[in-house]
A and B are shown apart, each in its own frame.
Chain A
Amino acid sequence: MAGARCARRHGGPCVSLDVASVKKDFPILERDMAGHRLVFLDSAASSQKPRAVLDAMDHYYETTHANVHRGVYSIAEEATQAYEAVRSKVARFIGAPSSRGVVFTKNATEAINLVAHSYGRSCLGEGKAVLLTEMEHHANLVPWLMLREERGVELRFLPIDDHGRLVLADLDRTLDGVGLVSLTAMSNVLGTLNPVADIAAAAHAAGAVVLVDAAQSVPHAVTDVVALGCDFLAFSAHKMCGPTGIGVLWGREDLLEAMPAFLGGGEMIRDVRLDGWTPNEIPWKFEAGTPPIAEAVGLGAAVDYLTDLGMDVVRDHEVALTAHALTTLAGRHGDDLRIFGPPDPHDRGGVLSFTYRDIHPHDLSQVLDSAGVCIRAGHHCARPLMRRLGVPATSRASFYVYNDEADVDALSDGLLAAADLFSI
């Protein structure tokens, strides 16, 4: 990737992303969609993969693959090194003090389940409360609903205002009796960026630990777990240019040390006898069975790719593109278009949920698909939030490093085509 970094920045350090050049890194964007180019506006669900990631995984399988932490032979040692090197790389990427707190999971959902299961069942129970928010993804709701059913833990929810921002006026009072706060850093529906550091400080003052669902934020902005002040952070590789099948739980080492194991099996043990077992050290204590090795290699390549672009540059690009989209879509479609979430692009990520006239999101998505434009339609795994917004479903366009103003125009044109088809 040497040199590519400069090619993507116009003259001098860190100005803007050269999206035309970035697009060339993603083979899928060359696909023909019945005469249209592929306009991918669903990266909040899963991002596309650059060639560097695909090549890294192929190369690993073609030259290195063996199981990790087992063989004594060369390729097994190389595979182990490759796998563990990604742990260190991920730690640096999120500002973690060491790689010992980086646990590889299947995805962000499993990472949250790990905390709910292990920390939840050992440290939370009747008389303790878990504080969530009204804007959480099902991944950060259902594990806690399960814990409530099993252990009688009380669930509380921070409300949102009509612009999709958390209402924090009562935060200190709400935190009384709370053992754990779990919230999204960025809403997958509204794009809202939450003041995680402030909430974490208040939570710690009240004696609670803080888990951050960072599935939507890690791919799009600089992440620093120390600055955030959180105790756990969960995210997935597949939303940040990496492969499916691998996610990350970062946790404070003292907490991870004290927590019981999650899944049982090989790798997570130090010793097994017929009458018992001894757990491995962290982070391996939480990694039962053969891990997703090639996927870890892919995640490492994705971290390199994003680091090369510069996460600050990625964020600036998305703020600019979101600002452009908010302005031009509102200008062209007026009251026909209702966009949810904070109006200021600096308060949100590149996620636009909207309704357009009275056209159902499914129909809108279908019409856009016929022009090669991929958007998400539905409840976005956030049914409680949909109820709060008073809509059964929304359409959602989400941006990433390979999107530009022409993609926003394609979306905008598609809306008018849908209006033509469905107008009464």
Chain B
Amino acid sequence: MAGLEDLYREIILDHYRSPRNRGDLPTPPAHRVEGFNPLCGDEVILYVDIDDSGRVTDIKVDGQGCSISQSSASMMTAAVKGRTEVETRELIRAFKAMMSIHERGLDGDVNGDGGPVAPDPSVDMGELEALRGVVKFPVRIKCATLSWNTLVQAFDEAGPDRTRD
């Protein structure tokens, strides 16, 4: 049985208590997307400014939910601000791999059957590493990935016609 300290790492609690990039942005130009976990009522609302090159120039997060969903959203905003779409999608893929969700499961959120996945050495996870312990608590994986799935939605809604990178 995994201990609480595997889940509630200090960095996670810090982001939960003092969330970064909290708030909203004027729409348009920002894209507003909502993510919802019907299981527990967790809600993430993202406001994402994406410039013509596909770069995330600003991002804000609103909504409410458990410490894992809210801290994951906070850490995500800090990690993706300034990244290009290609870089961001790479990070999303790496994060979901860390949550044992592989590419084929991106849509349906199909969990992998193994334990934690070895990190992709080409992607620096930084603080996000702290969320690795969530894998030991399968019910909470959906909490951790909620904001990340919502961000994918923002890029999809921003439109494929835009030049990428």
Contact = CB atoms under 8 A, between A and B. Distances in A.
Most buried by A among B1, B3, B65, B140: B1
A378 B139 CA distance: 12
A346 interface: no
A370 B16 contact: no
Contacts of B7: 366
A302 interface: no
A189 interface: no
Contacts of B137: 366
B32 to A, nearest CB: 19
B1 A33 contact: yes
Contact of B41 (A34, A378, A424): A378
Interface string A372-412: 00000111000000100000110000000000000000000
A370 B40 contact: no
B3 A362 contact: no
A367 interface: yes
Most buried by A among B17, B40, B140: B40
A421 B39 contact: no
Contact of A392 (B41, B67, B68, B143): B41
B13 interface: yes
Contacts of B42: 360, 362, 392
Contacts of B65: 360, 362, 392
A29 to B, nearest CB: 17
By size class, the interface of chain B is 20 to 34
A360 B4 contact: no
B140 A361 contact: no
B8 interface: yes
Interface string B1-22: 1011001100001001100000
Interface in A314-368: 360-363, 366-367
A360 B66 contact: yes
Contact of B16 (A34, A361, A422): A422
Interface in B26-69: 39-43, 64-68
Contacts, number: 50
Contacts of B67: 360, 363, 422
Nearest to B36: A392
A362 B66 contact: yes
A362 B1 contact: no
Nearest to B65: A360
A370 B3 contact: yes
A361 B40 contact: yes
A378 B40 contact: yes
Nearest to A417: B4
B140 A422 contact: no
A361 B13 CA distance: 16
B13 A422 contact: yes
A367 B7 CA distance: 10
Contacts of A393: 40-41
Contacts of A366: 4, 7, 137, 140
Interface string A17-37: 000000000000000011000
B13 A421 contact: yes
Given A422-B16, A424-B17, A370 B41 contact: no
Contact of B40 (A33, A377, A421, A422): A377
B8 A421 contact: yes
A360 B16 CA distance: 11
A379 B17 contact: no
Given A362-B140, A370-B4, A386 B41 contact: yes
Contacts of A362: 40, 42, 65-66, 68, 140, 143
Contacts of B140: 362, 366
Given A34-B3, A362-B66, A370-B4, 17 more contacts: A33-B1, A360-B40, A360-B42, A362-B140, A363-B66, A366-B4, A366-B140, A367-B4, A378-B39, A378-B40, A379-B40, A379-B41, A386-B41, A392-B41, A393-B40, A421-B4, A422-B13
Interface of A: 33-34, 360-363, 366-367, 370, 377-379, 386, 392-393, 421-422, 424
5 contacts: A379-B40, A386-B41, A392-B43, A393-B40, A421-B4
- Shortest beta-carbon contacts, A-B, top 10: A392-B41, A360-B66, A362-B66, A393-B41, A34-B1, A370-B4, A424-B17, A363-B67, A378-B40, A363-B66
